Amino acid sequence: MNEQPRRPRHLMDPDNPIRTVNDKSLTHVQQWVASVLVVFTVAHLVVGLVIAAVAIDPAYQTSRIGLCVIAAAFGVLGLAGGFLIHRRSPITPWLILGIVPSVVGLWFVLR
């Protein structure tokens, strides 16, 4: 007679707040989120360095080229970090994508 109505499953039960979670799928999602954050954060840094290299006065040509080289190194390391988060070998042809913004920057700097 004093039965409480059953709560819908999508609502939290205050008497049992923790629901079981498949840890393997959670880890997989966490890996993807972390790798995307690493790669895109480093990509923003790389593009910023390339823009800085293009914006510097052409009288400092060595500095402009140096910034593009540093951007290439960061780009490769960022992509390698994404592979390492997934526990894959960081030595892969995909690392070439890490130097693409720097090559574009060098094209603007050297023309």
Determine, yes or no, domain membership for 12.
no
Where residue 87 falls (left for φ over 0; alpha for ψ -120 to 50; beta otherwise) is left
Determine, yes or no, domain membership for 11.
no
Determine, yes or no, domain membership for 1.
no
Determine, yes or no, domain membership for 48.
yes
Is the pLDDT assigned to residue 84 strictly greater than 80? yes
DSSP character string of 49-66: HHHHHHHS-GGGHHHHHH
Rounded to a whole number, what is the largest CA-CA distance in the chain?
88
Among 72, 58, 74, CA closest to 111: 58
Number of H helices, E strands in the chain: 3, 0
Determine, yes or no, domain membership for 71.
yes
Q: pTM of the predicted model, to two decimals?
A: 0.76
Cα 17 to Cα 5, 12, 13, distances in angstroms: 17, 6, 5
Rounded to whole angstroms, the Cα distance separating 61 from 9 reads: 64
Determine, yes or no, domain membership for 72.
yes
Write down the pLDDT at residue 5. 72
Determine, yes or no, domain membership for 13.
no
Write down the pLDDT at residue 3. 76
Is the pLDDT assigned to residue 79 strictly greater than 70? yes
Range of the domain at 102: 23-110
Determine, yes or no, domain membership for 14.
no
Q: In total, how many domains does the chain have?
A: 1
Over the stretch 4-59, which tens digit does the pLDDT of each residue have? 777 666 667 677 666 666 667 668 888 999 999 999 999 999 999 999 999 999 99
Write down the pLDDT at residue 89. 95
Write down the pLDDT at residue 21. 65
